[in-house]
Structure 1
Amino acid sequence: MAVPDYQSIMYPLLELFKDGNEHTLQEAYIYLADYFNLTAEDKEEVLPSGKQFVYHNRIGWARTYLKKAGLIKSVKRATFVITDRGQKLLNDPNVTEINQVYLMKYKEFREFKNKKQTENKGVLDTYDKRDLTPQELLDQGYKEIQQQISDEILDRVKGCTPEFFEKLVVELLVAMGYGGSIEDAGKAIGKSGDEGIDGIIKEDVLGLDMIYVQAKRWGNVVGRPEIQKFAGSLEGQRARKGVFITTSDFTQGAKEYVNLIEKKIILINGNDLAGYMFKYNIGVSKITEYILKKLDIDYFEE
């Protein structure tokens, strides 16, 4: 048979985890290939980019959606285990398949899809893909892939070592055009304990202005008192500008405070951090590239 779509894969993939044991993505490839009786030709089918097998790609998306719905969770790299919610679903005799519409019942999945629940329906109204142009489908697909990868980036960042986090922040700031060279920025930013780093970097290659950077690999939300303390530190560091990075988020009070003070402080939360890493190619690699073209009317003018 042909490689099934990712929605058809979700229920049998969840069944793999029913025993409560940890299972790897590699196990899922083998299990599902047998489950769907995929031929050698099916398993060798690749995406247009030629960089990944189709059935690996679809299993990956099925896994991502199950994880975003809270039905499975990561325990270590490429290894997952079923959650109580996932077990409850499998024990429900009325559920024999899983698709996006069904997953919309879970708040976490709705937030992932960035859609609002209607007041008079149990699931979200989904757009009809037939109403979208190929350009719109491509744009929407890109945004969804970006969100999925950004979420995975943030999960990895939260689990990395302090040393790796320090290296990551330095490389990102340099990629964004700050800090001069990797060597310069690496010397300027160092460990400060408390699951964080801090230092002074150049705003430009010439060092015409300096920026005080503090980055916290925290799970707790950063409040106004912490930002006030950071603002006070700018004086001692002879800096007029600051960047505060956290893997979590900032309270509303913290966000409002930076707009009230004279010094310029930029707050970067976990989602922003992952987004910048995606944009500046830190921790990600390019699989393929699509170039959209349009007809050049002027060329055909005689």
Structure 2
Amino acid sequence: MIPDYQTIMLPLLKTMSDEKTHKLRELIEILAVHFQLSEDEKKELLPSGSQAIFDNRVGWAKFYLEKANLLKTEKRGSYHITELGQSFLKSNPTELRTRDLEEFKAFKEFKQSINVKNEIDDTDQGNHENAESNKTPEEALEYAYQKLKNDLSRDLLDTIKNCSPSFFEKLVIDLLTKMGYGGSRKDAGKALGKSGDGGIDGIIKEDKLGLDTIFIQAKRWENVVPVREIRDFAGALLSKKARKGIFITTSSFPNSAYEFVNSIEHKIILIDGERLTDLMFEFNVGLSTQSAYEIKKIDSDYFEE
């Protein structure tokens, strides 16, 4: 299991007790061995996919130890234990939590400077630990964002299901156009709205030059799409001598549907409700931005002399 950043702090400090200067990447590798992490655990990413969870937690453990003046930056990207850090280790601590850092003047001043009460406190009460206190600030932000996205995705899918079939076709056109298919919006608009043509709802250009054609099936479903619908769609492609198709639905597909499309020569992409809303997020279809936040970090290259 990947340890939280507070659990990492003491082993990190002990690792640096050798008085050597260490790079962050080196520390991450040493600590991964210490915690006996598997390759999958080392590669597990934050919800944004921007960084490995363990790398992020080691980085924040290092950050808080620096703020307590137990570690210091020796030169760009390198770190060294301080005399205070060595003195603390001589007391043979069995654990190191953010509440323990409160004992250090530098850390107290750091907390006061950001004027955030109890935001990074370890709020343990006996053996009951507040799980939120074990998340790094970046993790807390990303998981909060993911929760908001998941809630909005459910609302978005419900909204789509309540729309008319013609509006759903318009939504599909807008999405595929934003993704680069269909040439112009006008060309794409002509592609759909031909329901009942042998199981084909419409056709769209694969690119702006129209080098290939993609056939589309766009259906609002409540229940799992039967695999026979995918077989009928594949048969329609065969009758049109087409090689590529996209089947879009508001519900989901059974495993047998994915097994079927993987077993045939034709290339059929299945887009279920979850994937549909993910694509709408990615290409900003049917959504507007309420707030935007940027996470900054120091550009070490800028400060290199």
TM-score of the pair, normalised by structure 1: 0.55
For 1:279, give the aligned amino acid: E
1:117-128 equivalences under 5 Å are: 128=131
Percent identity over the alignment is 56
Alpha-carbon spacing, 1:272–1:291, altered in 2? closer, same or farther (3 Å): same
Q: Distance in 2 between matches of 1:140 and 1:211?
A: 37
**Residue type of the alignment partner of 1:212:** F
Structure 1 residue aligned with 2:230:
227
* Displacement of 1:294: 0.9
Please list, as runs of the form range in 1=range in 2, the aligned pairs for 1:100-115 lying within 5 A after superposition: none
Given the superposition, is the C-alpha separation of residues 146 and 229 from structure 1 closer, same or farther in structure 2, using an over 3 Å criterion?
same
Q: How far is 1:238 from its partner?
A: 3.5
One-letter amino acid of the counterpart of residue 257, structure 2: A
The list of structure 1 runs, each at least 4 consecutive aligned residues, that deviate by more than 6 angstroms after superposition, is none
Paired with 1:144 and 1:197, the residues of 2 have a C-alpha distance of 36
Aligned counterparts, 1:147-296, within 5 A:
147-192=150-195, 198-296=201-299
* 8 Å CA contact 1:222, 1:249 repeated in 2: yes
**Is the CA contact (8 Å cut-off) linking 2:200 and 2:217 kept in structure 1?**
yes
For the 8 Å contact 1:216–1:245, the answer to whether it is kept is yes
In the alignment, is the contact (CA less than 8 A) between 1:243 and 1:266 conserved in 2? yes
Partner of 2:57: none
Q: CA deviation at 1:191?
A: 4.1
- C-alpha separation in 1, matches of 2:129 and 2:290: 29
Which secondary structure does the structure 2 equivalent of 1:245 belong to?
strand
Letter paired with 1:294: K
Within the candidate set 141, 147, 169, 2:144 is matched to 141
SS at match of 2:193: strand
How many Å separate the matches in 2 of 1:224 and 1:298? 55
Distance in 1 between the 2:210 and 2:135 partners? Answer: 49
**TM-score of the superposition, structure 2-length normalised?**
0.55
Q: The residue matched to 1:300 in structure 2 has which SS? A: coil
Measured on the aligned residues, the alpha-carbon RMSD in Å equals 2.1
Q: Structure 2: 5+ residue runs without aligned partners?
A: 1-127
Task: Give the conservation status (yes or no) of the 8 Å contact 1:250–1:269.
Answer: yes
Distance (Å, rounded) in 2 between the aligned partners of 1:137 and 1:172: 31
Q: Structure 1 residues 141, 197: CA separation in 2 closer, same or farther (over 3 Å shift)? A: farther
After TM superposition, give the deviation of residue 299 of structure 1 in Å: 2.2
Contact 1:166 1:191 in 2 (8 A): no
Deviations 1:110-138 (A, max 9, x none): xxxxxxxxxxxxxxx99711111111111
Query: Following the alignment from structure 1 to structure 2, what is the Cα–Cα distance between the partners of residues 191 and 127?
Result: 56
Unaligned runs of 5+ in 1: 1-124
Give the number of aligned pairs: 177
Q: Residue type of the partner of 2:155?
A: E
Query: Quick one: distance in 2 between partners of 1:209 and 1:183?
Result: 18
Corresponding residue SS for 2:301: helix
Q: Which letter does structure 1 place at the counterpart of 2:209?
A: L
